[in-house]
Amino acid sequence: MPFTRRHALGTLAALPLMPRLARAQADFPTRPVRLLVGFAPGGLTDIAARALAERMGKILKGSVVVENRPGGQTIIATAAVARAEPDGYVLGFVGTNGMILNPLLYNDLPYRRSDFKQLGSMGKSPMLLIVHPALGVKNVQEFIALAKKKPGDITCAHAGRGVINHLALLHFQSKTGTQFQDVPYKGSGPALLDLMAGTVQSTFDFPTSALPNIRSGKLQVLAVTADQRLSSLPDVPTMKEAGVEGFELYTRMMISGPAAMPAAVAATLENAVREGARDPALVRQFAEQGVTVAFTSSTDLDRVIAEESALWAGVIRANNVPKTDLKG
């Protein structure tokens, strides 16, 4: 195609915009950055997002404001990030549910992983295998032996079908050759209340939810799904130590933005996540709650997402967990 006078004029007209765009990126941010959270205020994800947002704001010399958009297994908040202007002013504090599990569990999801630029991970939290003390087991092997003796009799609560602790139960059954009677709840809170009351006998849940009642003796923890013991529960073995290999399971605390963000803006934001996650006070605060605060770069996080997506896809496939239609 010949280079015409019209092309020349178009090129010249665009030239004044280029320095302005470069300057805007260099000055980023010039207004508050919004960090969307797919859960209601008060839970682990919200608390972690607010703690990180405060530190990111100091590094960026601006404000990072948490905005809660609960509902739909984090789909509402995650989709809003995917649809946002790719200028770096709308980010998501996206966990394993939004970025890894939802694409495996739902048809017609209003976003794809390719819609996002990962900006790093603040940290990760394993789950605990928890039982009611009256069950009378002292360790994981006794728990497995009892389950094999009474297949389908021992109840295991979870926060809803397809939620991460339900998938952890399915994975545990496959790994150990056991069968439990799964009892779905609308969230971990009601499940833990019924576990403490003895209505159900076991569950997988996160340390932040269960630690106070474990320490009071109302609940008994048998193992942690981490690759090493937690400083907050030093006497609790890992699943590997307890005899169950290949059972390292986490929920990730990932920060994401729209895929088309300028590289300079993405680099600025990733640096803020990195430096915020290095704050010793933040590390101590969450270590006490069983959460490992350790920065994972965007490059490494892409690899982690691919690996954990493959792991959970295998669990879902092996247990014939159906995909849910969002439309229709």
Per-residue burial over 262-289, b if 16 or more Cβ lie within 10 Å, else e, is: beebbebbbebbbebbebeebbeebeeb
**Which DSSP category does 86 fall into?**
T
Residues 68-123: tens digit of each pLDDT? 999 888 999 999 999 999 999 999 999 898 999 999 999 999 999 999 999 999 99
- Bridge partners, 223 (sequence order): 129
Predicted pLDDT at 326: 84
Q: What class does CATH assign to 128-242? A: alpha beta
What is the DSSP code (8-state) at residue 295? E
| Whether the domain at 33-125+250-319 and the domain at 128-242 fall into the same CATH topology | yes
Residue 288, SS3 per DSSP: coil
Sheet bearing 181-184, strands edge to edge: 181-184, 155-158, 202-205, 128-131, 220-224
Three-class SS of residue 153? coil
Q: What is the DSSP secondary-structure string of 22-82?
A: HHHHHH--SSPEEEEESS-TTSHHHHHHHHHHHHHHHHHTS-EEEEE---GGGHHHHHHHH
Number of H-type helices and E-type strands within the chain: 13, 13
Concatenated DSSP letters of 88-127: SSEEEEEEHIIIIIHHHHEES-S--GGGEEEEEEEEEEE-
CB 219 within 8 A of CB 132: yes
CB burial of residue 250 (10 Å; 0-12, 13-18, 19+): buried
ω before 29 within 30° of 0 (cis)?
yes
Write down the domain spans for the chain: 33-125+250-319, 128-242
Buried b (16+ CB within 10 A) or exposed e, 293-311: bebbebeebeebbeebbeb
**For residue 34, what are the β-bridge partners?**
65, 90
Cα–Cα distance for residue pair 28/38, rounded to 1 Å: 25
**Mutual angle of helices 263-277 and 280-287, in 10-degree steps:** 60
Q: How many CB atoms neighbour CB 187 within 10 A? A: 13
Whole-angstrom Cα distance, residue 134 to residue 157? 16
Quickly list DSSP for 164-213.
Answer: HHHHHHHHHHHHHT---EEEE-SSHHHHHHHHHHTSS-EEEE-HHHHHHH
Kindly report, residue by residue over 210-237, the tens digit of the pLDDT. 999 999 999 999 999 999 999 999 999 9
Q: What is the pLDDT along the chain (328 residues), one digit of tens a residue?
A: 455 555 555 555 555 544 544 555 568 999 999 999 998 888 888 999 999 999 999 999 999 999 999 988 899 999 999 999 999 999 999 989 899 999 999 999 999 999 999 999 999 999 999 999 999 999 999 999 999 999 999 999 998 888 899 999 999 999 999 999 999 988 888 999 999 999 999 999 999 889 999 999 999 999 999 999 999 999 999 999 999 999 999 999 999 999 999 999 999 999 999 999 999 999 999 999 899 999 999 999 999 999 999 999 999 999 999 999 987 5
Residues with Cβ within 8 Å of 57's Cβ and at least 6 positions away in sequence, in order, are: 33, 63, 64
CATH architecture of 33-125+250-319: 3-Layer(aba) Sandwich (3.40)
Report the alpha-carbon distance of residue 292 to residue 248 in Å, rounded.
14
